[in-house]
Amino acid sequence: MKNLKKTLKALPLSQRGKKRYVLFEIFAEKPLSATQVEKAVVQKFAELFGSKGLAEQKLQFIGFYGLKNQGILKCSLEKCEEVKAGLLFLKSISGIQCIPSIVSVSGSVKKLKELSESKRVQNL
């Protein structure tokens, strides 16, 4: 019993697979919360792609900024186009009509946050 491993070793970076971050914006009648958006996105993706598709996409909700109605999703490089298409299928979130828009795709969150800030400054 003493020789059993307590934890599993993490995969090396070279074997984890490449990822992409998708910055999206939602035009809605009312401000939305992060939990509402996350729940709606996961529900729509499960409906469209099923649990196997969801697992292959390695979808992870990074954050949603309610004041700007912008959010960031993390996904695998191979399934990035599916994720972008799936986001555009959102029609309503918690009964609130919405129109999603893909702003940009990047390999790092930092670049997307900079882009998001620069767009906000230009819009003022």
pLDDT over 70 at 119, yes or no: no
Domains of the chain with bracketed CATH: 18-123 (3.30.70.3250)
Provide the pLDDT confidence category of residue 121 given band limits of 50, 70 and 90: very low
pLDDT above 70 covers a percentage of the chain that reads 91
The per-residue pLDDT for range 6-21, each reduced to its tens digit, is: 777 888 878 888 999 9
Rounded Cα–Cα distance for residues 63 and 49 (Å): 22
Which of 122, 54, 32 minimizes the C-alpha distance to 103? 122
Backbone angles phi, psi at 66, to 5 degrees: -60, -35
User: What would you report as the CA-atom Rg of the chain, rounded to the nearest whole angstrom?
Assistant: 17
Q: What is the mean pLDDT of residues 37-58?
A: 93
Virtual CA dihedral for 46, 26, 37, 70, nearest 10 degrees? 120
Query: 60: which residues sit within 8 A by CB, 6+ positions away?
Result: 73, 74, 75
Kindly report, residue by residue over 52-78, the tens digit of the pLDDT: 999 999 999 998 887 888 999 999 999
